[in-house]
Amino acid sequence: MKQLTLLFTLLSLNCFAQNTKYKFDETLSIELPKEHSIVDTLGLRRISAPLNIGNIVITKTIEEQIETNVFDEAQLQEYYKGYQKGFMKGCKGKAISEEIIKINNVIVSKSVFAMPGNDESIVVENYVIYLKDHTYTVGFFLPNNIESNFNKEKQKILSSIKFVKGLTIEDQFNSHDENSPAGKAGQITGYILFIVVLIFIIWFIVKKSKAKWD
């Protein structure tokens, strides 16, 4: 964690003016910086890219989540709360805000928290979407001194999220009859997300350090 500030300093040197559309599946697509990386690990597809300020990490669970007990809106919110709690616990974050919002009529969990860095904390703005038995996340990681330019870039990416037409609230409920608490399932999935993001951070730091000494 101590080299996270260095990570964002390095990332800020990379600016991508053009975005490209990425289609996760038939359900969801999003525009990303043209130069992004895709890795499948620990049951998640991870897409990461540097932004003008900080970076973005997007994930999707690869397999259907048959263990997630979400059969009504209350359980969906319980799952979201558990997911954000698991992710924040993994990175030892401090909550700033948490709310339920809608993106194109799809119920989404938005959480903002600070995680420890080197000289200053790192602000994480994390969006979680549970849809058709899969969890998608859109996470923005940036230095504590947020600039207005970041908000413009963030809104551009969020507004590019497109869902398949014809979705209803039932598409955000689990299609399998399992008996696992939604909140607990959310915490487990959220903690796995933290591990995946941590692997990316360590890889990036090692890569930059190696390049420096070559």
Q: Reply yes or no on whether the pLDDT at 208 is more than 60.
A: no
Q: Reply yes or no on whether the pLDDT at 145 is more than 90.
A: no
CATH assignment of the domain containing 34:
3.40.1000.10
pLDDT at residue number 186: 46
Q: Which of 6-15, 43-52, 142-151 has the lowest mean pLDDT?
A: 6-15
Q: What is the pLDDT of residues 81-100, one digit of tens each?
A: 888 888 887 777 888 999 99
Burial level of 39, CB count in 10 A (0-12/13-18/19+)?
A: middle
Q: Reply yes or no on whether the pLDDT at 41 is more than 60.
A: yes
Rg (CA), the chain: 17
Span 38-55, mean pLDDT?
Answer: 86
Distance CA 17, CA 119 (A): 29
8-to-117, 158, 170, 176 alpha-carbon distances in Å: 10, 21, 39, 41
Q: Which of 15-24, 79-88, 133-142 has the lowest mean pLDDT?
A: 15-24
pLDDT at residue number 110: 96
pLDDT at residue number 141: 85
Which is more confidently placed, 138 or 190?
A: 138
Number of domains composing the chain: 1
- Give the count of beta carbons closer than 10 Å to the beta carbon of residue 51: 23
Range of the domain at 81: 4-213
Return the H-helix or E-strand segment holding 10: helix 4-11
180 in Cβ contact with 69 (< 8 Å): yes
Q: How confident is residue 178, by pLDDT bands cut at 50, 70 and 90?
A: low
Q: How confident is residue 148, by pLDDT bands cut at 50, 70 and 90?
A: low
pLDDT at residue number 187: 45
